[in-house]
């Protein structure tokens, strides 16, 4: 499993090179028995080899641009890359004008020496949590691949690329769980920052209000390294915290209800470990988490804003993934009063949850209340699809509405169905929440 710390040490010691890492990533992408053909919509093989060779020359000359210099990363298909069309997982944008400049997130990674390995598949226009894309195919979850389970969405290709070792980091976006959901279902680590920390210009929007940009990687420290670059902050290690003494809030609410057996077992096991090492777990009622029907009425902010974004293409809606098109058109029925009501609800929600979370280091809940369903059962009917979609999005969306930050950490037994533990913080508490997540990750790994 690639981590930034290990690869940095190996590069510095001459045990590997950026060219070797890129060759390994490309080999996994090109493996005919793997999911690279569905996980990636475009592969930058020649450019990646050239960028890797440049990184190796700089390193030999004593130049290192950042802690992630020379490491291969993937980009979700909704990010602008200068000279390329940003399709956002859709066929209708294939002949749109090319981007003139990199999105700021892409530019910051490029300046840090990241080697772009390719553009990853996604749910069309990022509007869905299951991970389907009928235009370009759906990459299969790494768990029970022969059966065929959903990857989660909308950063579906990013999660599969990360799980299969095709990148050291996969850049995604998160509006109602599109980083954390796929990370949890595919067994990798995902980080959703406070939305305002990472510039969102040049990322095709789903919701101007709720979108955020962050990494999927193989550890909290890896996510933190890329998070600092994306946020334009100085490099440096996270403050080292111990799980002992952490105060962790368990929100008694629908977020902890109706869990799959595997999810309940993994979550309960994680809580027992944390309690055993001295973390202070306190369960309190959080009734605000039970009002999602109000927060996301008609699709909520995403529904209203997606309709605004796509209404110029209404005459081509039949070319969309039908389930995406249906969700876009739902926003047409939202009124200006509905839209303003979301803002009032959100202000009160943030105020109340911030007050409840005061004095705690983080809020804990399962990232997703279920394991990944099979593609067949989630795709059987529209009713099945939308039921699974809402189930996968259920817990994650609360943190977007909170304008908070959260990490999803793998917490399942090796070889078992992937399950994510979500470590959540209020808005602006990003580095502390990452440090808490790292402490929890270490505690779970030591058990």
| Active-site residue, from 178, 219, 253, 270 | 178
Query: What phi, psi does 370 have (nearest 5°)?
Result: -135, 165
| Contact present, 156 and 111 (Cβ < 8 Å) | no
Asked whether the CA dihedral 176, 178, 180, 181 is positive or negative, the reply is positive
Known catalytic residue at 76: yes
Length reported for the chain:
447
Question: Looking at 154, 156, 212, 270, which residue is catalytic?
Answer: 154
Distance CA 384, CA 397 (A): 20
Look up residue 144 and give its two tokens.
């029970």
Pick the closest to residue 53 from 22, 11, 10 (CA basis).
Answer: 22
Contact of 156 with 129, CB cutoff 8 Å: no
Whether residue 437 lies in the annotated active site = no
The Cα 357–Cα 251 span in angstroms is 10
Return the structure tokens found at 12: 């510095």
Output Rg (C-alpha) for the chain, integer angstroms.
Answer: 20
Distance, in Å, from the CA atom of 337 to the CA atom of 28, rounded to the nearest integer, reads 50
Structure tokens at 36: 């690279």
Set 17, 74, 76, 429: catalytic member: 76
Q: Which residues are catalytic?
A: 76, 154, 178
């Amino acid at each position: 499993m690639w981590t930034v710390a290990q690869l940095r040490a190996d590069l510095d010691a001459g045990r590997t090179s950026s060219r070797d890492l890129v060759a390994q990533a490309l080999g996994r992408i090109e493996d005919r028995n793997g999911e690279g053909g569905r996980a990636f919509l475009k592969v930058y093989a020649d450019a990646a080899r050239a960028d890797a060779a440049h990184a190796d020359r700089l390193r030999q000359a004593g130049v290192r641009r950042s802690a992630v210099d020379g490491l291969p990363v993937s980009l979700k298909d909704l990010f602008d890359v200068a000279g390329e069309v940003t399709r956002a997982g859709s066929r209708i944008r294939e002949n749109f004008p090319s981007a003139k400049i990199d999105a700021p997130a892409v530019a910051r990674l490029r300046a840090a020496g990241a080697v772009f390995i390719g553009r990853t598949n996604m749910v069309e226009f990022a509007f869905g949590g299951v991970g389907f894309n009928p235009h370009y195919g759906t990459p299969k979850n790494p768990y029970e691949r022969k059966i065929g389970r959903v990857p989660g969405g909308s950063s579906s290709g990013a999660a599969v690329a990360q799980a299969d070792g095709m990148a050291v980091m996969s850049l995604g976006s998160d509006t109602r769980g599109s980083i954390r959901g796929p990370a949890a279902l595919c067994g990798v680590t995902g980080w959703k920052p406070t939305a305002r920390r990472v510039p969102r210009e040049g990322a095709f929007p789903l919701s101007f209000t709720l979108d955020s940009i962050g990494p999927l990687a193989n550890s909290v420290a890896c996510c933190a390294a890329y998070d600092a670059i994306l946020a334009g902050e100085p490099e440096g290690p996270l403050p080292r915290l111990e799980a002992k003494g952490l105060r962790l809030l368990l929100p008694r609410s629908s977020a902890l209800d109706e869990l799959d057996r595997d999810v309940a077992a993994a979550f309960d096991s994680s809580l027992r470990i944390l309690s055993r090492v001295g973390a202070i777990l306190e369960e309190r009622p959080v009734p605000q988490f039970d009002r999602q029907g109000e927060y996301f009425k008609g699709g909520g902010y995403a529904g209203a804003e997606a309709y605004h974004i796509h209404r110029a293409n209404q005459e081509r809606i039949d070319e969309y993934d039908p389930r995406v098109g249906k969700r876009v058109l739902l926003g047409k029925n939202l009124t200006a009063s509905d839209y303003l009501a979301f803002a009032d609800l959100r202000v009160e929600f943030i105020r109340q949850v911030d007050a409840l979370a005061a004095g705690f280091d983080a809020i804990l809940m399962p990232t997703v209340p279920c394991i990944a369903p099979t593609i067949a059962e989630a795709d059987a009917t529209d009713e099945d699809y939308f039921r699974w979609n809402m189930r996968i999005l259920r817990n994650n969306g609360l943190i977007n509405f909170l304008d908070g930050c959260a990490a999803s950490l793998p917490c399942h037994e090796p070889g078992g169905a992937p399950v994510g533990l979500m470590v959540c913080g209020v808005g602006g508490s990003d580095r502390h929440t990452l440090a808490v997540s790292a402490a929890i990750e270490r505690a779970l790994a030591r058990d």
